[in-house]
Structure 1
Amino acid sequence: MKSNCVGCLLLFLAAALIPFTALAKERVLVLTDMSNEPDDEESMVRFLVYANEYDVEGLVATTSTWLRERPREDLIRRQLDAYGLVRDNLVKHAGGYPTMEQLLAVAATGQPTYGMAGVGEGKSSAGSRRLLAAADKPDARPLWISIWGGANTLAQALHDARRERSPEELHKLIAKLKVYTISDQDDAGRWLRLEFPDLFYIVSPSTTGHQEYHRATWTGISGDRHYRNGPMVDFELVDNPWLEANIIRNHGPLGALYPRLAYIMEGDTPSFLGLIDNGLGWAASPAYGGWGGRYVRYQSYAETHPIWTDSSDNRDTLMVDGKAHTSSQATIWRWRRHYQ
């Protein structure tokens, strides 16, 4: 018995000497309609502060229902310039931050017009080509497409890929992509889901009037007051006084580019927040729940196949002031004190 214990101890010590290998970062490419409202610019500040947590494959300016022409790559570059001024301070706290030059190299502009009118033969853009270049890298990791506005730049990329590649090559490309879009902000999202049924797609579908936003899971980031869909748990952490004291004022040139909220704080942030390796495992499956919310895969009447979306099965129930609150938004706001 004694010798067996000694053997176990030796095995334990040997295992302890094996170098720890960190989990691979997720790869992510952002499509943003920055400039139409403050929350895109807010989300970009957070995205850059966490830029050491994932491999940034692209920052692409796009249109949306709220910005139907003239994508603003210049605003992306303005934030990257500010990031360059604070990077030395960021690396004092954690390693792995890309250089400003590395991020500038993957900034681009997508489709210059709105929706599927901007997709078709001869309409490829620097943004759609950047997306395909990132997807074609010899890298086994998936490429997350974080869509903050319209989806037509992704639609153009897959339109070109289908025209230029064999069915087998297209299938391999689709299998590498994981899309999380902040509802439907043009008609390209619906087209993508119809034309590419195997595409991994997280969405709270919406119509042109966007009356459904209040039901969308992603609004749990801070939408309690604006959408009247939450119990305001720790809401002071996502309201202007806290943001001004902890981000905007006296927090360097990048914080200075964080606008005061007008509707909700960082409405686009859920599309990448779950990619941060915080131990919740959200990137492995949106069904697990985490900072990006909880989603289930099912087929509604409006869809031709199952997608990752909201349903009665993706809701969490939490007790607040002695009352039970059940909602899909709760799958995000329950973590508010942690992500802030």
Structure 2
Amino acid sequence: MVTWRPHHFMLIVCLSVSPILAETTAPLCIPDQAKPRVVVMTDIGGDPDDRQSLVRFLLHSCDLRVEGLCTGFGWGHYDKTRPDLIRDAIEAYGEVLTNLRKHRADYPSAEQLLGLVKDGHNGDAHKVGPGMDSEASDWIIEVVDRADDRPVWFAIWGGPRELAQAIWKVQATRSEAQLAAFRSKIRVHSIADQDRTARWVKQHHPDVFWIFSEKLYQGFYDGGNRELVSPAWIEQHIRGPLRRVYPTEAHKWAGVKEGDTPSFLYLLPNGLSDPEHPEQGNWGGRFARSGKGHEYLPARDILDGQRDLLYTIHRWRPAYQNAFQARLEWSRLPFDQANHEPAAHCNADASLRVLHVATDPGAQVRLSAAGSSDPDEDNLRYRWWTYPEAGSYWAEPEIAGATQPDAVVTVPQDAASRTVHIILEVTDTGNPPLTAYRRVVLQVSGEAVAPPPGLTDDR
């Protein structure tokens, strides 16, 4: 038996009366309600890699509902906040915005982004309490309080002091029920633990959903194919106004570092995962419950037979760097000279959501990418593969037609009561090649079978 539970959430075509789109077919856009709400909290002015990450973030701003760009402090940077550096990057973005909108009409205006720049507390970076409110902490409260059922994701590139102060103020001024409702809308993806306020939140509010990307973020630039993050890559691909605000070197690293970038790549609605499930894994890494409240810590994927922390990110590097290259080209090329992401369909479902399938041991699950398309009419390549670390079944089931639009997965007999994660990659033949994804989670019925000797159930 195979039971499908699709989500009816469709991609839409960007509509615009602007003449800049009149000469070509508009690419697929993401409906606003499908865009994750995000507030960036950056210690920009310290390690230059924050400035690098900000450029990429702006190029992906059409994929997200940006609701705040807040300054603060972090490792080795406790002197003075630098909102001016955010404004410099937005100014450069504004210079290429007209061209970007030839490719995606839903890029936010520079004026809109400038209005979201909020300064953090220029004082003790490790404390919260009376008299320590800031423009940023007050703004965070306003954003979370909005009448929007979606959670607010905080991409924390430095320390979380402004968020912690916001939680403290709500705790001091509202009822327990109101505080609980406020906390329930918060999602955090923090790059390491860069000040002591995170400990305060964990101690007093352990129910806050918090991903700690300790060391895992290094996989964005270390390990894997380093040519894709080299100084030469920067020189070849980053040009024009954006080059002015993208440093070539960062702390102890030459080339693309962007250690903070996984915090928002994790959120991109590209069909690869559901951000509410860090264990699924995506461009921003894979994480597992720590056993303490709603805290998630880095998980390891298997590379060459060994569990490898950084591989959970750098396994995706060709895809996320190709996406970056394409968007850099959007900033300077017309639509018909640039490449755009394909749209991946799975079993007639055109949404971006993860699909869940109830099935049985020994069953054959038929999967189809029919209907997948490319806005540039490029040919498409297909790849169906198993992501064992993301599920609870330890092996890779047989997939017939793994490089074809239609595939058949044979569910192993010993996969009873387990989950099997199947990934569909749809990659176009443009330059650079771009990939869209779908994920199918097979939930297999029956009683659990013990894993083979040497394997455990903690995958």
User: 1:242/1:125 Cα in 2 relative to 1: closer, same or farther (>3 Å)?
Assistant: same
Match of 2:182 among 173, 178, 182: 173
Which residue of structure 2 aligns with residue 189 of structure 1? Answer: 198
Q: In the TM superposition, what are the counterparts of 1:87-236 in structure 2 within 5 Å?
A: 87-117=97-127, 119-204=128-213, 216-222=215-221, 224=222, 230=223, 233-236=224-227
Which residue of structure 1 aligns with residue 302 of structure 2? Answer: 317
Shift of 1:204: 4.1
Match for 2:114: what amino acid? L
Structure 2 CA distance, aligned partners of 1:326 and 1:268?
23
Structure 1 CA distance, aligned partners of 2:116 and 2:90?
11
User: 1:18/1:94 Cα in 2 relative to 1: closer, same or farther (>3 Å)?
Assistant: closer
Shift of 1:64: 1.5
Match for 1:266: what amino acid? E
Structure 2 CA distance, aligned partners of 1:218 and 1:176?
24
Q: Does 1:331 align with 2:340?
A: no
Report if the CA contact (8 A) 2:189-2:213 is conserved.
Answer: no
The secondary structure found in structure 1 opposite 2:122 is coil
Match of 2:242 among 243, 254, 269: 254
User: 1:94/1:19 Cα in 2 relative to 1: closer, same or farther (>3 Å)?
Assistant: closer
Deviations 1:245-272 (A, max 9, x none): 111xxx2212321001333410000111
Shift of 1:155: 1.0
Match for 2:212: what amino acid? V
User: 1:33/1:167 Cα in 2 relative to 1: closer, same or farther (>3 Å)?
Assistant: same
Deviations 1:223-264 (A, max 9, x none): x2xxxxx3xx221001111112111xxx22123210013334
Report if the CA contact (8 A) 1:51-1:97 is conserved.
Answer: yes
Structure 1 CA distance, aligned partners of 2:168 and 2:67?
20
Structure 1 CA distance, aligned partners of 2:116 and 2:167?
19
Q: Does 1:29 align with 2:14?
A: no
Structure 2 residues without counterparts, runs of 5 or longer: 1-7, 14-29, 322-459
Structure 2 CA distance, aligned partners of 1:18 and 1:282?
16
Structure 1 CA distance, aligned partners of 2:307 and 2:229?
21
Report if the CA contact (8 A) 1:64-1:114 is conserved.
Answer: no
Report if the CA contact (8 A) 1:26-1:143 is conserved.
Answer: yes
Shift of 1:113: 2.2
Match of 1:291 among 283, 291, 295: 283
Shift of 1:331: 0.8
Report if the CA contact (8 A) 1:239-1:261 is conserved.
Answer: no
Structure 1 CA distance, aligned partners of 2:243 and 2:37?
25
Shift of 1:284: 3.1
Percent identical among aligned pairs is 40
Structure 2 CA distance, aligned partners of 1:178 and 1:291?
17
Structure 2 CA distance, aligned partners of 1:91 and 1:34?
27
Shift of 1:332: 0.4
Match for 1:257: what amino acid? V
The secondary structure found in structure 2 opposite 1:178 is strand
Where has structure 1 moved over 3 Å in runs of 4 or more? Answer: 17-23
Shift of 1:97: 0.6
Structure 2 CA distance, aligned partners of 1:82 and 1:114?
32
Structure 1 residues without counterparts, runs of 5 or longer: 1-14, 206-215, 225-229
Structure 1 CA distance, aligned partners of 2:78 and 2:296?
27
Indicate the structure (1 or 2) with the bigger Cα radius of gyration: 2
Q: In the TM superposition, what are the counterparts of 1:4-19 in structure 2 within 5 Å?
A: none
Which residue of structure 1 aligns with residue 340 of structure 2? Answer: none
User: 1:277/1:187 Cα in 2 relative to 1: closer, same or farther (>3 Å)?
Assistant: same
User: 1:244/1:324 Cα in 2 relative to 1: closer, same or farther (>3 Å)?
Assistant: farther
The secondary structure found in structure 1 opposite 2:89 is helix
TM-score by length of 2: 0.61
Structure 2 CA distance, aligned partners of 1:75 and 1:202?
26
Deviations 1:12-64 (A, max 9, x none): xxx9x998984610000011000111100000000001100001000011012
Match for 1:289: what amino acid? G
Structure 2 CA distance, aligned partners of 1:219 and 1:114?
28
Report if the CA contact (8 A) 1:41-1:257 is conserved.
Answer: yes
The secondary structure found in structure 2 opposite 1:57 is strand
Shift of 1:192: 1.0
Which of 256-265 and 29-38 deviates more?
A: 256-265
Which has more helix, going by share of residues? 1
User: 1:115/1:279 Cα in 2 relative to 1: closer, same or farther (>3 Å)?
Assistant: same
Shift of 1:142: 0.6
Q: Does 1:267 align with 2:248?
A: no
Deviations 1:83-109 (A, max 9, x none): 111111111111211101111111010
Structure 2 CA distance, aligned partners of 1:337 and 1:49?
17
Structure 1 CA distance, aligned partners of 2:200 and 2:167?
11
Which has more strand, going by share of residues? 2
Aligned CA RMSD, in angstroms, stands at 2.0
The secondary structure found in structure 2 opposite 1:180 is strand
Structure 1 CA distance, aligned partners of 2:197 and 2:144?
19
